[in-house]
Homo-oligomer: A and B are copies of this chain.
Amino acid sequence: METFTPTAKTKLRRLPDRGAFDRETVYQILDEAFICHVGFVVDEQPIVIPTSFGRIDDTLYIHGSAASRMLRALTGGIPVCVEATLVDGLVLARSAFHHSINYRSVVIFGTATLVADDAGKMTALEAITEHIIPGRWAEVREPNAQELKATTVLAVKLEEVSAKVRTGPPKDDEEDMIVPVWAGELPLRVQTLPPIADPYMAADAAVPAHVSQYARGAKNN
């Protein structure tokens, strides 16, 4: 099935034309985002923590120290909301009211599940590492038994999930078209700067292609 099913939580009540439930859109936003924002509740207090993540098909993985507050709370099977947003540009209208931001966002509602077995953890950690920068996992030292033990990995299923996308120019009111101000979009994108070698690297060490030719984009699954 190529689309997620809207639910009471994910159905958009406002601006429904911005909503998207197709897997391609959801996957693309998640795969392009560097971090997600994990919301959970402890003693009635909402907490939102930014964290890196990975995705395999309809499963999102997060990880962290077994000692982290977030990981320990979420291991208890409490409800979680995971959100990721890409900012694509500034929308500059003729009226203050119609200023906006072009963005693509995904919101997932669910429950986190502990990935307990070493093979499952290794697969998730590969996805998280490859999400940071594709091509890296094959080059680096894999997690050892001690590191695996110190790392908690959680899975969140993409089931109750929706995307929202705003694109295009401002939507000014007809009567504002005469306001003498430049209106339009200022597109934004994330750019890489030249890589900085670790101080312990030889200064002339060759930068591998997965770093020098890095370009953020969606992966193919």
Contact = CB atoms under 8 A, between A and B. Distances in A.
Interface of A: 9, 13-14, 34-35, 37-41, 44-50, 52, 65, 67-69, 79-83, 85, 87, 89-90, 92-97, 99-101, 103, 105, 107, 109, 125-126, 129, 132-133, 136-137, 139-143, 147, 151, 169-170, 172, 176-177, 179, 181-201, 205-208, 211, 214
Given A94-B141, A189-B191, 17 more contacts: A14-B69, A34-B101, A37-B85, A40-B46, A41-B44, A44-B79, A47-B81, A48-B48, A92-B133, A92-B211, A95-B143, A99-B129, A133-B186, A140-B179, A184-B195, A190-B190, A191-B191
A119 to B, nearest CB: 15
Contacts of A80: 46
A146 to B, nearest CB: 9
Nearest to A65: B14
A195 B191 contact: no
Contacts of A99: 129, 132, 136, 140
18 contacts: A14-B67, A34-B90, A34-B101, A35-B87, A35-B101, A41-B46, A46-B46, A50-B105, A52-B101, A95-B140, A96-B126, A97-B141, A169-B198, A182-B207, A183-B200, A185-B195, A188-B191, A190-B190
